[in-house]
Chain A
Amino acid sequence: MKLLVTVSETAEADDEFEIDGLSIDDRYLTFDLNEWDNYAIEEAVQVSESNDDVEVVTVTVGPERTEETIRQGLAKGADRAIRVWDDDLADVGLLDSGTKARLIAAVAQEEEPDLILSGVQSGDMAFAATGVALAADLGYEWAAVVNELDLDAENGVAHVHRELEGGVVELTDVELPAVLTIQTGINEPRYASLRGIRQAQTKPLDVTTPDELGVTLGESALSLTSLAEPETESDVEFFEGGADDTAGKLATLLRDKGVDA
């Protein structure tokens, strides 16, 4: 059995940052493994640990810089990784989810995984669309926003819980092959062990291009036209002073509001 995990690197902005044109200045960004993908990797590794003969492959659309993030996935237990990139992709300001899905679908067609796990969304762009778009391209079944997975590999069914709004979960059976988009909280992602980190350096990380995958990139249908800090409508009243002062003022307020033991 083979599992493919889509892994992306996301940019987290500092609390204070400056916008330079259409992006946040690199100085204020920290690049790291996408939070949702961290849970997807963990879920895949847990499947490989509890079933015989499972290979976990990760796929990333990203520049060379992302290899550090890709190695994190390998250190946590993925067997090998594939990275897709070329200069034309670097020139695309906003990679739409449809194009990203087509690139990953081309990799999946070569790999023929039984199950693809994808984070629900990326922390920075948050389109929350790649996984389901990928399933549609591949003709795989799918389920979005999965927070529990019970895989019955023998019968080719994934029993999943989908996290709906308002504290309700939907119980759904999904036939394999399938794409599941993984929600945070589904498991407890491990930290890579020192041994895992060492091993990750020697695991295969293959680099390919859209060209080699036979994907022709058209003009992107989407482009970023402005980026700004949102205007705040705050009318918050701040309590000033040291902790004892502010706590005292807050205590007075809370008592005014009827809070008291």
Chain B
Amino acid sequence: MSDVLAVAEHRRGELRDVSFEVITASRELADATGGDVHLAVISGDVDGFADELNLDGVDLIHTVEHGDEFNHGVYTQTLTQLVDDCGPQYVVTPHTVNGLDYAPAVAQKIDYPLVTDAIGVDTNDGLTITRELYNGKTEATVAVSSDHALVTVRPGEWPPAEGDGSATIEAFDVTIDEAAVRSTVKGFEEVGAGDVDISEADVLVSVGRGIQEEENLDIIFDLAEALDATVSASRPIVDNGWLPQDRQVGQSGKKVTPDVYLAIGISGAVQHVAGMKGADTIVAINDDPSAPIYDIADYGIVDDLFDVVPALTEQFG
């Protein structure tokens, strides 16, 4: 009843980093409840994954062999039965695209309140979750009045679990109703195998919503040419179809680690920052001094990009 059940994530034969982070978050909760940390490893090379995840803080690993890749029907049925079997107080899953494909369904089936995209947890007076509201502009705490909860945790917010563990590894005996699995994964594709690889660039001139119109991209390309740099973009530019997907920096695009990252008219949403925070030097040009990009930038110019960008191009002309 005081236990915490974490769920691992893998894709195409490899564990994803967030699998190690959900263990840490679950250990934090279990230390407060005084329970054990259970970990569910579903589909793929479960024995190999279980060995890799047998880390300090994990008490029991449940493995379920069923197919190679993630399928939300299999995950939902397995987790519903596993929760029924071990009755955890909290279930912790990754706030990822696949996490979002089963966590809400599981929460409905087991009737646990769902709080998603947690960046912090507190158990002093019942469970309280810290998460962002209003597009990252505010941070809120959400209290859960129920004894139970399913919490999805944002990747990168908890450190990865490490140190050898001594968990018991057990195959969980699940009954999958195959007729109820009504979606089939046919394969995967990499997007944007174009001629530009932004992840290899030393200098990126990156453009966001602040550019306003497609025609205005000219001043960005002019600057990039003057700097001998590569042009990349944040999500809205790609959503609008102004630049191809292989130019997108961020969680759903590419991770980049240039020497210099020039963020122009980019507000710095968390999904974007996840893709560029590894840059050596980050320079932001944005007329909103409260834009979150300035939390991560090393240098900034709070001014109209339409004035600054041409002036900068001229400096290198």
Q: Which residues of A contact B (CB under 8 A)?
A: 11-13, 15-17, 19, 24, 94, 96-98, 101, 120, 123-133, 135-137, 141-145, 161-175, 178, 181, 184-185, 188, 219-230, 232-239, 243-244, 246-248, 250-251, 253-254, 257-261
Contacts and interface: CB of A to CB of B under 8 A. Distances in A.
A105 B166 CA distance: 44
Contacts of A219: 145
Nearest to B128: A225
Contacts of A258: 259
Contact of B203 (A127, A163, A170, A259): A259
B105 A135 contact: yes
B137 A254 contact: no
A222 B142 contact: yes
Interface of B: 11, 72-73, 76, 95-98, 100-109, 113-117, 128, 132-146, 149, 182-192, 203, 225-229, 235-236, 238-241, 245-246, 248, 251-255, 259-260, 280-281, 283-284, 288, 290-292, 294-304, 307-308, 311-312, 314-316
Given A228-B138, A257-B259, A169 B191 contact: yes
B190 A221 contact: no
Nearest to B96: A165
A250 B140 contact: no
Nearest to A226: B141
Q: Would you list the 3 A-B pairs with minimal beta carbon distance, nearest first?
A: A247-B311, A221-B113, A251-B315
A233 B295 contact: yes
Nearest to B225: A261
A133 B283 contact: no
A101 B108 contact: yes
Given A124-B134, A124-B135, A170-B188, A165 B251 contact: yes
Given A167-B190, A247-B312, A247-B314, A234 B138 contact: no
Contact of A169 (B136, B189, B203, B288): B189
B192 A94 contact: no
A70 to B, nearest CB: 22
Nearest to A99: B113
Nearest to B115: A222
Nearest to A174: B183
A130 B106 CA distance: 12
Nearest to A14: B137
B303 A246 contact: yes
Q: Which of A184, A188, A219, A243: most chain B Cβ within 10 A? A: A243
Contacts of B241: 188
A133 B104 contact: yes
B97 A145 contact: yes
Q: Which of B95, B136, B184, B239: most chain A Cβ within 10 A? A: B239
Given A172-B184, A172-B185, 20 more contacts: A11-B134, A13-B134, A19-B138, A128-B95, A132-B72, A133-B107, A136-B108, A141-B183, A144-B101, A168-B11, A168-B191, A169-B191, A171-B185, A178-B182, A184-B239, A224-B140, A227-B139, A233-B295, A250-B283, A250-B299
B116 A129 contact: yes
19 contacts: A96-B113, A97-B114, A101-B104, A126-B132, A129-B100, A130-B104, A133-B107, A133-B108, A144-B101, A167-B192, A167-B245, A172-B186, A188-B240, A229-B139, A234-B294, A243-B307, A250-B283, A250-B315, A261-B316
A127 B238 CA distance: 23
Contacts of B97: 144-145, 162-165
A145 B140 CA distance: 25
Contacts of A220: 145
Nearest to A177: B182
A10 to B, nearest CB: 9
A230 B300 CA distance: 20
A243 B304 contact: yes
A259 B260 contact: yes
A164 B137 contact: no
A16 B290 contact: yes
Contacts of A12: 134-135
A167 to B, nearest CB: 5
Nearest to A132: B104
A250 B114 contact: no
Given A123-B135, A229-B137, A236-B294, A133 B145 contact: no
Nearest to B308: A243
Contacts of A223: 142-143, 145
Contacts of B189: 161, 168-169, 171
Nearest to B315: A251
Nearest to A141: B182
Contacts of A163: 97, 252
